[in-house]
Chains A and B, each alone.
Chain A
Amino acid sequence: NAGVTQTPKFQVLKTGQSMTLQCAQDMNHEYMSWYRQDPGMGLRLIHYSVGAGITDQGEVPNGYNVSRSTTEDFPLRLLSAAPSQTSVYFCAAIGVYGYTFGSGTRLTVV
């Protein structure tokens, strides 16, 4: 019963590097989303998807791309990392009975 799996748990990037945060779910939920959590700002929605092939922007989409080729996977791509993207990133899958979150990825951009 894995639920939502995020990898990696920790990552340090240099400014300008790109990377992909992985998110996979085994609950067959259509809705998945990415959040970033920063002190004093709470959880802010980056991108979300209501099903395979469908994605949309949240509150803070700039600098991030997503795709949803399968129901299970919803990767988040940082195109050119900036120090402002230092944060904790959470992926969630949402079904009829509520949300399941991954354990988070702590990203530092230096």
Chain B
Amino acid sequence: KQEVTQIPAALSVPEGENLVLNCSFTDSAIYNLQWFRQDPGKGLTSLLLIQSSQREQTSGRLNASLDKSSGRSTLYIAASQPGDSATYLCAVRPRDDKIIFGKGTRLHILP
């Protein structure tokens, strides 16, 4: 059974710092992995999708990497801003199509 873990559960960093969020999964047989952000009381916004054949994806200040063999993905946020404060979730689509989410990392950027 696929399990997805995100560490840390919460993180506070000063504005301007670069930071890394972690996502690990137990079964490396996946189609893809996706990162989302969720603002309080809101829905999920897709950030980056990495297909199983890819190693990384970039969008603006965000870079997501995927290492299937070790069951790990990281989301790198450069030059953090207060507007980046949100909960970040990763989701894994395994071969049985039962897409599983991690519980998220709650990020707070201190002005």
Contact = CB atoms under 8 A, between A and B. Distances in A.
A42 to B, nearest CB: 4
A41 B49 CA distance: 23
B49 A43 contact: no
Nearest to A44: B101
Interface string A29-57: 00101010000111111001010000010
A58 B49 CA distance: 22
A74 to B, nearest CB: 14
Interface in B64-111: 89, 91, 93, 97-104
Contacts, number: 52
B89 A90 contact: no
Contacts of B101: 35, 42-44
The number of chain B residues touching the other chain, given as a range, is 10 to 19
Contacts of A59: 98, 100
Q: Interface on chain A toward B: helix, strand, loop, or mixed SS?
A: strand
Interface stretch (A20-28, A63-71, A76-84, A95-103): A95-103
B43 interface: yes
Contact of B34 (A40, A58, A99): A99
A97 B97 contact: no
B46 interface: yes
